[in-house]
């Protein structure tokens, strides 16, 4: 019927037939999964290509598309395809709670598999079995009693930050907060978690820049389905220079670990000389996060040097970057909203008056309005805008069954901007987190620290450190900016939310009188 086929034509037809055969075989093999997937609402998708409407050029466009889908499909789960991966976007707090608390949804998704190249199998990226084991080991370093011992470090680092910021005082030229804040949060996490002081012999700036570059490069691979197969990703890693950067980034954490191993062995020798009445509780008082890791390695041959490295670099990455992002956004928002800044300062004044004394755990407990401001900052600009869970079994949410094998996408920035949860969601309003308003909402309406068993282990650490830094800055300076809230644009950099163009502010010496006194003085 077709006449005699030439060799090239025969090869083409054979290749097409093979592709079709593989396609139909795959669909038959996954027919149960596809049946459930097709019952979910969502935009049209096409073989091999997937859901073309989800391929966007910028981060703003991606978030806008997620919000648009949420509204269009009445906040029900929305199914989309990116290459061979089926994503289900879950928005309603009731559905988010089911997913995040379900033992069948503890595995992380595709985004995290790429980040393993940088972070290894630390808490953020680990498989479920490894995560359970590591979390049990690490949880000690995040209990309240241990965190209270860290206040002298927080206070010391924040005073250094204030000293460094002071050179910008009264300048009419705005400066970007980011370099000052990220440097401080990195120094702080290294000392609080690892009892390690970063000094001149370490190229901290190079390490932080390299970490951002690598993570940003890895995050971009998520929208490149052709890199999902491990063989293709290995080729990309080699040809793009990513492999060389990954080797270089390990230099500082490995040096830190080697030095702390020597310190740890010295502590063991010293502890042997403690009198009997020196209890384990007193011994633990001096145990840091990295001591906990090194102790686990001593006692468990399955807890390897690689495990220590993975947790150390995860702590360096997540413990510095997330706090710095929120602190920069928070100070910028306070610069935009002078009335709210006044209210925060009045609370600080009521607690510490105009003194320069060091802050205490009792002080931070009294900064309730500042906590509302920080939570509202995280509502508007959550540090992680999208995270995923891989389903190992079907999961029933309120109106649908999510199929085994799907990647469930949860976007805090989408849920946090739902108007039925937060009226006028684009406005900065710390009263969203008043006791009365929180009581009206579902618990999972706010997921800045994720939730469920794999929620952020460092949430208490983050809130304490952010309160202390912002308080110390506002005790010394008032912050100002010419930009408006409507000018703020965000992007996704190194897996975290960032503001396009940095965080430009100016600072002035703080008038340490409460705002009502200042206002009355001006009127008089």
Residue 170 Rama label (left phi>0; alpha psi -120 to 50; beta):
left
Q: What is the DSSP letter of 163?
A: H
What does the H/E/C string look like for 341-371?
HHHHHHHHHHHHCCCCCCCCHHHHHCCHHHH
- How far CA 16 is from CA of 7, 19, 101, 299, 380, in Å, comes to 14, 5, 44, 57, 49
Q: How many whole angstroms separate alpha carbon 455 and alpha carbon 6?
A: 61
Convert 206-254 into a string of H (helix), E (strand) and C (coil).
Answer: HHHHHHHHHHHHHHHHHHCHHHCCHHHHHHHHHHCCHHHHHHHHCHHHH
The SS3 of residue 495 is coil
**Which CA distances in Å does 172 have to 188, 287, 330, 479, 480?**
30, 46, 21, 12, 10
d(CA 480, CA 103): 47
Contact 315, 289 (CB under 8 A): yes
Residue with the two structure tokens 């996954």:
30
Pair 87, 79: CB distance under 8 Å? yes
Using CA atoms, how far apart are residues 469 and 33, in angstroms rounded to an integer?
49
Q: Which helix (H) or strand (E) holds 135?
A: helix 128-138
Residue 456 is labelled as binding a ligand = yes
Q: Which of 330, 318, 59, 320 is nearest to 177 (CA)?
A: 330
Query: CA angle at residue 485 from 380 to 341, to 5 degrees?
Result: 80
- The Cα 342–Cα 514 span in angstroms is 8
Match 């789960």 to its residue by tokens: 77
* Cβ count near 143 (within 10 Å): 10
Q: Which of 32, 19, 12, 67 is nearest to 394 (CA)?
A: 32
- Residues annotated in a binding site: 456
Binding residues for heme: 456
């Amino acid at each position: 019927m077709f006449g005699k086929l030439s060799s090239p034509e025969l090869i083409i037809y054979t290749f097409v037939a093979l592709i079709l055969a593989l396609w139909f075989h795959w669909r038959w093999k996954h027919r149960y999964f596809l049946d459930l997937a097709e019952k979910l609402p969502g935009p049209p998708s096409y073989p091999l290509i997937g859901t073309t409407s989800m391929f966007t050029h910028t981060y703003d466009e991606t978030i806008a598309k997620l919000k648009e889908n949420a509204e269009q499909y009445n906040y029900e789960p929305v199914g989309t395809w990116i290459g061979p991966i089926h994503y289900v976007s879950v928005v309603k707090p009731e559905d988010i709670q089911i997913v995040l608390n379900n033992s069948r949804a503890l595995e992380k998704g595709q985004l995290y598999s790429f980040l393993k190249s940088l972070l290894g199998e630390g808490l953020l990226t680990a498989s479920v079995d490894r995560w359970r084991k590591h979390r049990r080991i690490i949880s000690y370093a995040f209990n309240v009693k241990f965190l209270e011992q860290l206040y002298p470090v927080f206070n010391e680092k924040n005073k250094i930050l204030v000293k460094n910021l002071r050179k910008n005082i009264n300048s009419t030229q705005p400066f970007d907060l980011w370099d000052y804040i990220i440097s401080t949060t990195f120094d702080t996490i290294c000392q609080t978690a690892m009892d390690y002081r970063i000094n001149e012999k370490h190229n901290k700036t190079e390490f932080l820049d390299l970490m951002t570059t690598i993570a940003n490069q890895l995050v971009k691979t998520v929208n490149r389905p052709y890199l999902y197969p491990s063989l293709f990703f290995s080729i990309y890693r080699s040809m793009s220079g990513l492999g060389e950067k990954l080797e270089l980034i390990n230099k500082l954490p490995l040096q830190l670990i080697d030095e702390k191993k020597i310190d740890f062995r010295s502590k063991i020798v010293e502890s042997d000389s403690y009198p009997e009445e020196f209890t384990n509780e007193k011994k633990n008082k001096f145990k840091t996060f990295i001591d906990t890791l090194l102790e686990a390695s001593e006692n468990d041959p399955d807890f390897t040097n690689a495990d220590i490295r993975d947790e150390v670099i995860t702590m360096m990455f997540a413990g510095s970057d997330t706090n710095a992002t929120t602190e920069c956004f928070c100070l910028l928002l306070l610069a935009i909203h002078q009335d709210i800044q006044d209210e925060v300062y009045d609370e600080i004044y009521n607690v510490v008056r105009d003194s320069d004394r060091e802050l205490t755990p009792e002080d931070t407990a009294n900064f309730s309005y500042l906590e509302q401001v920080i939570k509202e900052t995280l509502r508007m600009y959550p540090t992680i805008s999208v995270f995923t869970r891989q389903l190992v079994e079907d999961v029933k949410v309120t109106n649908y069954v999510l199929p085994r094998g799907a990647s469930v996408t949860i976007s805090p920035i989408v849920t946090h901007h739902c108007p039925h949860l937060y009226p006028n969601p684009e406005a900065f309003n710390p009263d969203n987190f008043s006791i009365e308003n929180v009581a009206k909402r579902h618990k999972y309406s706010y997921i800045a620290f994720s939730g469920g068993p794999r929620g952020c282990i460092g949430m208490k650490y983050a809130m304490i450190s952010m309160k202390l830094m912002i308080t110390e800055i506002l005790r010394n300076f008032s912050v100002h900016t010419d930009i408006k809230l409507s000018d703020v644009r965000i992007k996704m950099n190194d897996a975290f939310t960032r503001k396009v163009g940095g965080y430009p502010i100016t600072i002035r010496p703080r008038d340490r009188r409460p705002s009502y006194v200042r206002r009355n003085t001006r009127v008089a």
